[in-house]
A and B are shown apart, each in its own frame.
Chain A
Amino acid sequence: MNWHAVRAIYLFEMARTKRTLLQSVLAPVITTSLYFVVFGAAIGARIPEVEGVSYGAFIVPGLIMLNLLTQSVSNASFGIFFPKFSRTIYEILSAPVSHFEIVLSYVGAAATKAVILSLIILATATFFVPLRIEHPLWMVGFLLLTAVSFSLLGFILGIWADNFEKLQLVPLLIITPLTFLGGSFYSIDMLPAAWRTLSLFNPVVYLVSGFRWSFYGTADVAVGVSLAMTLLFLAVFVGVATWMLRTGYRLKP
Chain B
Amino acid sequence: MDSIISISGLSKTYASGFAALKGVDLDIRRGEIFALLGPNGAGKTTLISVVCGLVNASAGTVRVDGHDIVRDYRAARALIGLVPQELTTDAFETVWNTVSFSRGLFGKPPDPAYLEQLLKDLSLWAKKDAKLMMLSGGMKRRVLIAKALSHEPRILFLDEPTAGVDVELRRDMWQLVRRLRDSGVTVILTTHYIEEAEEMADRIGVIAKGALILVEDKAALMKKLGGKQLTLQLAAPLAQIPPALARYGLALGKGGGTLVYRYEAETEDNAIADLLQDLAAAGIAFADLHTTQRSLEEIFVSLVSEREPAGEGAR
Contact = CB atoms under 8 A, between A and B. Distances in A.
A27 B208 CA distance: 55
A21 interface: no
Contacts of B91: 86
Nearest to B46: A253
29 contacts: A2-B74, A4-B104, A4-B105, A5-B104, A8-B103, A9-B105, A16-B92, A86-B88, A86-B90, A86-B91, A87-B86, A90-B52, A90-B54, A90-B82, A91-B82, A91-B105, A93-B52, A93-B53, A94-B54, A94-B77, A94-B80, A95-B107, A96-B73, A96-B78, A96-B106, A98-B74, A252-B55, A253-B14, A253-B15
B233 interface: no
Contact of B53 (A7, A86, A94): A94
Contact of B105 (A5, A16, A87): A5
Contacts of B105: 4-5, 8-9, 91-92, 95, 97
| Most chain B beta carbons < 10 A, residue from A86, A90, A94, A252 | A94
Given A4-B107, A96-B77, A253 B92 contact: no
Contacts of A19: 92
Contacts of B78: 96
A4 B108 contact: yes
B293 interface: no
Nearest to B88: A87
Given A5-B107, A96-B78, A96-B106, A252 B86 contact: no
Contacts of A5: 104-107
A12 interface: yes
Interface string A6-17: 011100100110
Contacts of B104: 4-5, 7-8
Nearest to B147: A91
Contacts of B90: 83, 86, 88
Contacts of A177: none
Contacts, number: 76
B150 to A, nearest CB: 10
Interface in A206-253: 248, 252-253
A98 B78 CA distance: 12
Contacts of A96: 73-78, 106-107
B257 interface: no
Contacts of A88: 88-90
Interface in B67-113: 73-78, 80, 82, 84, 86, 88-92, 97, 100-109
Interface in A33-88: 83, 86-88
Given A5-B106, A95-B105, 17 more contacts: A4-B103, A4-B105, A4-B108, A5-B107, A8-B105, A86-B91, A87-B86, A90-B52, A90-B54, A90-B82, A93-B52, A94-B54, A96-B77, A96-B78, A98-B74, A248-B56, A252-B54
| Most chain B beta carbons < 10 A, residue from A9, A15, A90, A252 | A90
Contacts of A4: 103-109
Contacts of B80: 94
